[in-house]
Amino acid sequence: MAPVPAPISWPYHRRVPRTLFPDAVAVRWSTGDVPGKLHPREQELIRSAVPSRVAEFRTGRTLARECLAEFMGPAAADAVIERHPDRSPAWPKGYCGSITHCTGLRIAVVARRGDVSALGVDAEPAVELPPEAVPELLTTEECRLLAERGVPDVLGFSAKESLYKLWTGMGGGWLGFFEARIANVDGRALKVEVTSNTRPCGVPPVIDIGYRISGGHVVTGAWL
């Protein structure tokens, strides 16, 4: 497969997504859509999607196969990444991963299950959430913690999105926004307490979610 173009818009750290994960995790990202080939079963997943959605879906799968190539070599070109009923990617046997895309940024992360149990990554434009959406996503205390750190409240939303991807990767079911409580925010990570009574085996009650804010984006990542 053709190499993924290098990112072009990180102003002071071109390797921001890479810094969120250990070396055992392959990371690929792009600031725009990249060419790539979808397999027929993947194409079926988006047959009625608008062109912009097709492009970001194709980019996510292309980046994911580039990640898989670090472990599988040329065979990664034939890897099919289908979709679970909850719409999360269905990775080839023996691998785990996560994909995210937002305006101006697409990221994929993949690891061998022998090295990492589950992964979660999320990217969002670094802007404040719409005021009407905040009460549906964050508590007053969570908003206070984020404001005291001087970060946009979308960071809290993104952290919970990364946690949810990690959670489903560990076999968890539905996790509401208020079943994940932000307990602390420092300069590099958030501590998120999971209050659900149905925590999957292997998921600790408190999880560190790393974050970076750069190039107009918030990026969060979690791994177990």
Binding residue positions for CoA: 53, 61, 100-101, 122, 161, 165, 175
In sequence order, what are the residues at sequence separation of 6 or more whose Cβ sits closer than 8 angstroms to the Cβ of residue 39? 78, 80
How many angstroms separate the Cα of 26 from the Cα of each of 108, 122, 146, 164, 202? Answer: 8, 15, 29, 20, 22
Helix 154-169 and helix 140-149, axial crossing angle in degrees, nearest 10:
110
Binding-site residues for Mg(2+): 122-124
Q: Reduced to 3 states, what is the DSSP secondary structure of residue 208?
A: strand
- Look at residues 124, 179, 113, 133 and name the one whose alpha carbon lies nearest to residue 151: 124
Neighbour-count burial of 67, counting CB atoms closer than 10 A to its CB (0-12 exposed, 13-18 middle, 19+ buried) = buried
Residue with tokens 């952290």: 159
Cα gap 109→139, rounded to integer Å: 29
Binding-site residues: 53, 61, 100-101, 122-124, 161, 165, 175
